Structure 1
């Protein structure tokens, strides 16, 4: 299987989030190193794995995109 690797900027463009939000709020809380992103050749650069992120953004109840709500629930689009 081949994967689509994205920089932080590429991921931000694809999911319509600010790069700062990805770096400061999502990385290491929602996006986990070794699952959603990795550091090629042990360097500082980060590459995100689109297929894993896309899968985990989807609701487990039938693949309908879910938007997390502050109350802990989800709004299904």
Structure 2
């Protein structure tokens, strides 16, 4: 499965939410680290995983979707 990595700007454009709304209301309450976004190379930058976010938007958040698949 290909993964599309997005910056907060790109995610904001795609889902039509303000960047601040994503940072302050969605991140860590609906979008979870390791599931919907990562910090590549242990840095400060955040990259969002589009396919996981899209799946949650279409199907809703469930306990099964929060488990990290290997």
Unaligned runs of 5+ in 2: 61-70
**Where does residue 57 of structure 2 map in the other structure?**
57
Q: Deviations over 1:19-50 (max 9, x none)?
A: 00000000000000000000000000000000
Distance 1:59 1:48 in 2: 18
Normalising by the residue count of structure 2, what TM-score does the alignment of the two structures yield?
A: 0.82
Structure with the bigger percentage of strand: 1
- Pairwise CA RMSD: 0.9
Query: Residue 48 of structure 1 aligns to a residue in which SS?
Result: strand
The number of aligned residues is: 60
Structure with the bigger percentage of helix: 2
**Where does residue 28 of structure 1 map in the other structure?**
28
Unaligned runs of 5+ in 1: 61-77
Query: Residue 30 of structure 2 aligns to a residue in which SS?
Result: coil
Normalising by the residue count of structure 1, what TM-score does the alignment of the two structures yield?
A: 0.75
Would you identify which runs of 4 or more consecutive aligned residues in structure 1 move more than 3 Å? none
